[in-house]
């Protein structure tokens, strides 16, 4: 079911299929709204804006906006990101992200499996603080404008999705330079890494996932552990593809909220998905283990 939702979400976010003939980006009314995940604004099929790019553009222009009294307009993206995080934590990462889906499909290629070291999970927070927040605020031109540095220097989803422009608009190919070669190299690295490790970009670099992860522990949608049902078999930890122990770490910022620990791996119904006051018993729990 989750993979079906991922496919439908990816199609819905990239539903402008006229770009091969129009050779233009979609600029309709839906582009005023942001996707909850990284889906590049410059993708020729994208019908929504990217929240990460929108946040960077807001921060990059905040100084002139303060001078002109228009800075309040940018708070809508901040409120949107807070709302997504407070409701679902990293649910959008696990269920709605097209680049996450691509990494999962690549991981199905038969190969050795390498667990990503836990130390690398701190890097997304460094990318969030440095490239997304601080550099657009600090490195500004004489007019006070900064740059969306994460988009310009790194963003693998943006490199993959925006490259469609160069396929349908050949005139743009002349503008390719060393920066695009660098970003293409970063993209290639993560796509190759995804074959042997589960969603490496999400675990080691994605600043949007890091932001949503800050809300994992207190979000309305979360995984809840019932010690009374738990038999300490460890099946949930063995099945977690990001290397967490859901009995203790379900609120970790690294949890992608795929809910497979509750729906596929726990044989005793000790893990369940909770939305606010409502708890949903894990579907894989045998009836004999469920509380009356």
Return phi, psi of residue 201, to 5°. Answer: -65, -40
For residues 78 and 87, the answer to whether their CB atoms sit within 8 Å is no
Predicted local distance difference test score (pLDDT) of residue 101: 97
Closest CA to 256 of 119, 16, 130, 96: 96
pLDDT for 287 equals: 43
User: How many angstroms separate the CA atoms of 77 and 252, rounded?
Assistant: 24
Residue 289 reports pLDDT greater than 50: no
Query: Which residues have C-beta within 8 Å of that of residue 76, sequence separation ≥ 6?
Result: none
pLDDT of residue 250: 85
**Full DSSP string of 162-174:** HHHHHHH-GGGGG
Which tens digits make up the pLDDT trace of 154-193? 999 999 998 766 666 666 666 666 778 899 999 999 999 9
Instruction: Determine which of 30-39, 76-85, 253-262, 274-283 has the lowest per-residue pLDDT on average.
Output: 274-283
């Amino acid at each position: 079911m989750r993979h079906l939702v991922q496919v439908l979400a990816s199609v819905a976010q990239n539903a402008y299929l006229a770009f091969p003939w129009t050779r233009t980006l979609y600029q309709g009314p839906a582009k005023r709204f942001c996707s909850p995940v990284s889906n590049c604004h410059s993708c020729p099929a994208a019908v929504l804006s990217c929240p990460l790019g929108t946040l960077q553009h807001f921060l990059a222009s905040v100084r002139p906006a303060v001078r002109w009294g228009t800075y309040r307009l940018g708070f809508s993206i901040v409120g949107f990101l807070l709302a997504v995080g407070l409701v679902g934590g990293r649910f959008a990462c696990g269920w709605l992200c097209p680049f996450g889906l691509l990494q999962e499909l690549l991981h199905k290629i038969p190969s050795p499996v390498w667990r990503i070291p836990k130390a690398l999970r701190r890097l997304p927070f460094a990318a969030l603080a440095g490239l997304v927040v601080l550099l657009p605020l600090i490195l500004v031109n004489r007019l006070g404008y900064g740059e969306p540095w994460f988009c310009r220097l790194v963003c693998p989803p943006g490199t993959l999705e925006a490259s469609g422009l160069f396929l349908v608009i050949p005139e743009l190919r002349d503008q390719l330079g060393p920066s695009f070669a660098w970003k293409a190299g970063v993209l290639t690295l993560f796509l190759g890494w995804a074959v042997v490790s589960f969603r490496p970009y999400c675990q080691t670099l994605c600043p949007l996932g890091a932001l949503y992860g800050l809300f994992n522990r207190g979000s309305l949608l979360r995984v809840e552990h019932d010690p009374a049902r738990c038999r300490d078999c460890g099946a949930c930890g063995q099945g977690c593809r990001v290397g967490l122990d859901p009995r203790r770490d379900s609120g970790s910022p690294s949890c992608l909220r795929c809910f497979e620990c509750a729906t596929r791996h726990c044989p005793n119904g000790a893990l369940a998905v909770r939305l606010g006051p409502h708890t949903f018993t894990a579907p894989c729990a045998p009836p004999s283990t469920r509380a009356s």
